[in-house]
Amino acid sequence: MSLSQGDALTTHNFGLQIDGVMVEYLHAVGEVGMEQDVIEYQQVSANGQPITKKMPGVKKAGETTVTRGMEQSTAFNEWINASLRGDMGSARKNASIIYMDYQYNPVRRQHLRNAWCTKVMGAAATAGEASVMTETVTIVYEELVTE
């Protein structure tokens, strides 16, 4: 059963799809967004009054980070490695972050168009500590579409 009217989406179930195939359930997702320049121009109206107008400018590419367990998906590993090798023919892919309800039913999707990985960082490790080994991957993208 998915969320009922008025239920809030929790932040503990999400995954990553690459070209429509679920490759990873994630530990954490950073902020995902896009930004657009604003063009401001001034003109004078027909009756001589100054007018200031704003209109959309160029969209800026986005960036996010995802954190996952280190022993996870080989498909995600291959995508990271292709990106870091500079093999953009293989690396530039459409990815989606899928937000799910408590029963793992998709509730929201954020599609990252022409995405690729720019950085991978393993977590610090301490002997004797009881914690999961994770790594954080930085993903850049050219367009964000939310559904």
32-82 pLDDT, tens digit per residue, is 999 999 999 999 999 999 999 999 999 999 999 999 987 778 899 999 999
CA distances from 31 to 16, 34, 39, 72, 99 (A): 14, 10, 25, 22, 13
Q: What pTM does this model have?
A: 0.82
pLDDT digits (tens, 9 = 90+) for 72-121: 788 999 999 999 999 999 999 999 999 988 788 888 899 999 999 999 99
Determine the Cα–Cα distance for residues 130 and 47; give it in Å rounded to an integer: 73
Determine the Cα–Cα distance for residues 44 and 48; give it in Å rounded to an integer: 6
DSSP for 9-29, written as a single string:
PPSS-EEEEETTEEEEE-SEE
pLDDT value for 114: 97
**Assigned fold of 14-146:** Pnp Oxidase; Chain A (2.30.110)
Neighbouring C-alpha atoms within 13 Å toward the C-beta of 88: 5
Q: Which residue has the higher pLDDT, 27 or 116?
A: 116
What are the boundaries of each domain within the chain? 14-146
Q: Could you tell me the end-to-end alpha-carbon distance of the chain, in angstroms, rounded to an integer?
A: 19
pLDDT value for 3: 60
Q: What are phi and psi of 24, to 5 degrees?
A: -160, 140
pLDDT value for 31: 93
Residue 8 pLDDT level (bands cut at 50, 70, 90):
low
pLDDT value for 9: 64
Structure tokens at 111: 């599609």
Residue 1: pLDDT above 50? no
